[in-house]
Amino acid sequence: MTSHSPRGLIVVTGPMFSGKTEELGRHYTRFHIAKKTIGLCKPHDHRTGSAIVSRSGFRAEGTLLNSAEGLLSFASAYDVVIIDEAQFFDESLPAVVRKIMRERLVIVFGLNLDFQGVPFTNMAMLMAMATEPVVYLTAVCGKCHSTRALYSQRLTSETDRIVTGFANYEPRCLTCFEPPTST
């Protein structure tokens, strides 16, 4: 770890299409300029492999981790640890991050809510643990074009909590969000 290394937890959250990966790229570039060592990781994911790619052109290779516990050894080599898609890690993530953030800066990116409008537990807990104000991004509503979309509206009838694929979702504001009905 280099001298004057930052410590703590920054959380960036919001719905799909809100610019989280663009924000990740901004943080990555900033700490690269500051000559900090940066560890970029995400949960093992077969959709995109280890690549972290934004619609605006940012691209970086991350390390795929099978569990949150894997972060402990991964993080030890870096000043700044950036975690993408945090909502997909197992439930031990908040406890693991609590340990790491005492030694280095952790920046976590993830969805705020699932397709039903229910918070992802990991993200809710990490938001409560943040040592900086939580960055809560919004998107443009796919229906009315409000710039305050907070929800990821599922456009398919699947009922599993996790269904990947950008084509399956669009951002929605509070007015236009249509939570699935219980059966």
Q: What is the CATH number of the domain that holds 33?
A: 3.40.50.300
- What is the percent of the chain with per-residue pLDDT over 70, rounded to a whole number? 92
Q: Is residue 158 part of a domain?
A: no
Give tens-digit pLDDT for 27-74: 999 999 999 999 999 998 656 677 777 777 777 888 999 999 999 999
Q: Is residue 115 part of a domain?
A: yes
Q: Is residue 156 part of a domain?
A: no
Range of the domain at 45: 8-137
**CA–CA distance, 124 with 60 (Å, rounded to integer):** 26
Give tens-digit pLDDT for 145-159: 999 999 999 888 777
Could you confirm whether 132 is annotated as catalytic? no
Q: Is residue 95 part of a domain?
A: yes
Domain count, the chain: 1
Q: What angle do CA 2, 8, 9 make, to 5 degrees?
A: 125
Residue tagged active-site, from 61, 85, 103, 178: 85
Q: Is residue 160 part of a domain?
A: no
pTM for the structure as a whole: 0.90
